[in-house]
Structure 1
Amino acid sequence: MILASKSPRRKEILEGFGFKLEILTSSIEEVSDEEGLLEQIMDISRKKSLEISKIKKESYVLSADTVVVLDGHILGKPKDEDEAFYMLNSLSARQHKVLTAYTIMNSQKGIDFTSYDSTEVCFKELTEEEIRWYISTGEPMDKAGAYGIQGKGAVLIKKIEGDFFNVMGFPISKFYDDLKQLNLSIDELNKTVEVERC
């Protein structure tokens, strides 16, 4: 299976559950003309798969897009430590949502499926000192919402409702259920198709 993502966390989750992956990242601009937030991330996820699937028609291609949403606004990756502080301070003692859209596609077999999962995350009330400490670890700087639940950021979390792996970057349980609905198995996705080239 081709993973159209350079996220080390997605790769780690999928390989941990037995998927054999080839990494081919998409170069699309991550923008969408769709109106709703959920529709936008589903559209972006599908575009990522579509770009790779056009050149790898015989392969299963998986893509995803994860966003952290607070009060209807997306919190992306912080540009600097000041923005990381602002994000973490905004999340303090608040509940927010993590949305991941994902697409599994195989052009040759006519498979084009996009879905999503949503997890509610509640932060503890954080002191300025705790936020500064967390930023000093460097962990927030490459993560949406400026935190990683699977790392040192775990100490900031009061509770979650939903899939832990979704917050980490990929909702493996929902994806597994969807594969069953599509009559696909991990073994099937791990098959590599050798195409003769002339």
Structure 2
Amino acid sequence: MMQVVLASASPRRLALLEQVGVRVQVCPADFAEADGKAAEARHVAVNNARGKCRAVAAAQGDAVPVVAADTIVVIDEDILGNPADAAAAEAMLNRLSGRSHTVITGVAVRYRGRELYKDCATSVLFRRLSAQEIREYVATGEPLDKAGAYGIQGRGALLVEKIDGCYNNVVGLPLTMLYEMFKELGADMTGD
């Protein structure tokens, strides 16, 4: 079983890696994420992932693959990060209600002196939500630490009508893309 260093405290990313049999050492990055405009969303997500990956690799080394990711939600011309509080979460969910948005995850992997970084985008359509549904969902606390104020792998699944693209990307780590990145770096993500 392959071991990786995950430059993130995200329990969702940890669970995804463990789901495919990867042993994970969690080492959150000491890196200040940047934000930006929707027009540069892919660039923002990739640069944040690269910054986290490099910060952890500088501290831990890269004899074991270091994996970092940054997930953002884009609607209209805005990037929606994690809501600051319940009111911000309600506002985000009202904005997403009945509409499509894009979830972009930037991923960076550093291994034995080599670094790869890519991004993955998935289109997500929300069903129309009532004000009461939004208030009840926010009251669960689930939206407060998630980009766009929802978690598709939790109760937020009930908000989503349809997705076009990688489901795991919406959770926070596009596993198929990551697997291909590992192969390109000469590492077997599912082997020893």
Same fold (TM over 0.5): yes
Which residue of structure 2 aligns with residue 82 of structure 1?
Answer: 87
Which residue of structure 2 aligns with residue 92 of structure 1?
Answer: 97
The SS at the match of 1:21 is strand
Aligned residue type for 1:44: N
Aligned equivalents of 1:97, 1:171: Cα separation in 2 = 14
The SS at the match of 1:100 is strand
Please list, as runs of the form range in 1=range in 2, the aligned pairs for 1:29-108 lying within 5 A after superposition: 29-31=32-34, 36-57=40-61, 58-106=63-111
The SS at the match of 1:45 is helix
Asked if 1 retains the 8 angstrom alpha-carbon contact of 2:20 and 2:190, the reply is: no
Aligned residue type for 2:46: M
The SS at the match of 1:174 is helix
Which residue of structure 2 aligns with residue 195 of structure 1?
Answer: none
Asked if 1 retains the 8 angstrom alpha-carbon contact of 2:116 and 2:181, the reply is: no
Q: How many matched pairs?
A: 187
Aligned equivalents of 1:96, 1:11: Cα separation in 2 = 25
Overall identity of the aligned pairs, in %: 38
Which sits farther off after the overlay, 86-95 or 132-141?
A: 132-141
Aligned residue type for 1:185: D
Q: Structure 1 unaligned segments of length 5 or more: list them.
A: 191-198
Asked if 2 retains the 8 angstrom alpha-carbon contact of 1:32 and 1:43, the reply is: no
- CA shift, 1:187, in A, is 5.0
Aligned equivalents of 1:43, 1:143: Cα separation in 2 = 19
Aligned equivalents of 1:160, 1:4: Cα separation in 2 = 27
Q: Structure 2 unaligned segments of length 5 or more: list them.
A: none
Which sits farther off after the overlay, 137-146 or 2-11?
A: 137-146
Aligned equivalents of 1:33, 1:92: Cα separation in 2 = 23
TM-score, length basis structure 2: 0.91
Aligned residue type for 2:45: I
Change (3 A) 1:50 1:143: same
Which residue of structure 2 aligns with residue 16 of structure 1?
Answer: 19
Aligned equivalents of 1:32, 1:144: Cα separation in 2 = 12
The SS at the match of 1:48 is helix
> Alignment partner for residue 177 of structure 1, among 176, 180, 186?
180
Which residue of structure 2 aligns with residue 194 of structure 1?
Answer: none
RMSD (Å), alpha carbons: 1.8
Change (3 A) 1:95 1:37: same
Aligned equivalents of 2:12, 2:119: Cα separation in 1 = 17
Asked if 2 retains the 8 angstrom alpha-carbon contact of 1:53 and 1:59, the reply is: no
Deviant stretches of 4+, over 4 Å: 32-35
TM-score, length basis structure 1: 0.88
Say whether 1:152 aligns with 2:155.
yes
- CA shift, 1:128, in A, is 0.8
Aligned residue type for 1:69: V
- CA shift, 1:177, in A, is 2.2
Larger radius of gyration: 1
Which residue of structure 2 aligns with residue 164 of structure 1?
Answer: 167
Change (3 A) 1:32 1:150: closer
Asked if 2 retains the 8 angstrom alpha-carbon contact of 1:33 and 1:40, the reply is: yes
Aligned equivalents of 1:142, 1:55: Cα separation in 2 = 26
